[in-house]
Every structure is written in structure tokens, then in C-alpha cells.
Amino acid sequence: MPVVTTYTGYKDFGGVMFPSRIVQTQDGFPSLDINISNVTANPSVDIAVPDAVRNFTPPPVRV
């Protein structure tokens, strides 16, 4: 099934050129239509690392 994504209406959002509309079709039928009104480039985020990831020890490698 062909999926086509079209990005249009590029605008300057505080120095970042970004499409103001994203439309996606699947097999010719619309499946997604997004209108973007604001963009924040590189926002600071606080993402907690799960303990299982933080404490992961990879298995030994034998060659």
C-alpha cells in the first residue's frame, strides 16, 4: 500500500523553517492531516533513564 506524505506551507518559526501543514495518504485516501501553528527548536527536556537501562551490562562477546 503506497503511503505519500506531503509537507507544505513552510514558514519561519523563530528562525526555523518548518512546514505548517503535513498531509499523509494511504493508497490515495487521506489518513493524516496536521496543521502546525508553533514550533520550538531544541527544547530542553528532562528524561529519566530507567534503572534497567542505566544498570545494563552487555553480555560478553566471543569471537
pLDDT tens across 8-27, in order? 999 999 999 999 999 999 99
User: By C-alpha distance, which of 34, 22, 30, 21 is closest to 3?
Assistant: 30
* Location of C-alpha cell 551490562: 57
- The pLDDT-based confidence of 7 (bands split at 50, 70, 90) is very high
Strand partners, 19: 10
Q: Where are the domains of the chain?
A: 1-37
Cell digits for 58?
552487555
List the helix and strand counts (H, then E) for the chain: 1, 3
* Location of C-alpha cell 562477546: 61
- The pLDDT-based confidence of 39 (bands split at 50, 70, 90) is very high
pTM for the whole structure: 0.67
